[in-house]
Amino acid sequence: MNRKALHLISYGLYVVTSTDGEAINGQIVNTVMQVASTPPMVAVAINKENLTCEYIRKSRVFAASVLGTDAPMEVIGRFGFRSGRDIDKFESIRYRTGTTGAPVVLDYAIAYIEVEVAQEVDAGTHVLFIGEVVDADILEEGEPMTYAYYHQVKGGKTPDKATVYIGDED
């Protein structure tokens, strides 16, 4: 099987955040998708080993900030290649506490979606959280960053806990 064919599936780049009621965390995610229109529902895939997964499981909420193409690699690296167990990912990052209590990243985001989790599905290395959108807005005009743009223009790499990681072939 040529797993590189999976890289031809189109993705965006998002900062998905949550809270455990006291602390906050977030991570870069490329698998956010709308799954229903009435009520509006989205799904996100999060690696089971990530702190963000623990926080979503505990609080049953998350926010997804849609990154624009102007997002610098430093911000993507902070949220995508570092653990919230080791650093404060929100240091020097503008955010606000959303309706759900999850942080909404404002820096380099063009829109956000806040979600209350309705169900979770075991998906091997990941958990698929499916929930109802409770708030969403456009923060500024801009182009959303796609995963292809991240790789081809920004020269980005795929973290080993990402849904699309394929090892030595990446």
pLDDT digits (tens, 9 = 90+) for 114-139: 999 999 999 999 999 999 999 999 99
State how far Cα 49 lies from the chain centre. 15
pLDDT of res. 45 = 97
Q: Which CATH superfamily is domain 3-169 in?
A: Electron Transport, Fmn-binding Protein; Chain A (2.30.110.10)
pLDDT value of residue 170? 43
Alpha-carbon Rg for the chain in angstroms:
15
Strand-pair partners of 122: 127
What is the C-alpha separation between 145 and 75, in angstroms, rounded? 13
Given this model, what pLDDT does residue 165 score? 46
User: Which sequence spans correspond to the domains of the chain?
Assistant: 3-169
User: Model confidence over 35-44: pLDDT tens digits?
Assistant: 999 999 999 9
Question: For 20-70, how does the pLDDT look when each residue is reduced to its tens digit (9 = 90+)?
Answer: 999 999 999 999 999 999 999 999 999 999 999 999 999 999 999 999 999
Give the integer Cα–Cα distance in Å for 119 and 83.
25
CA distances from 151 to 9, 49, 93 (A): 13, 24, 23
Q: Dihedral of CA 123/125/128/129: which sign?
A: positive
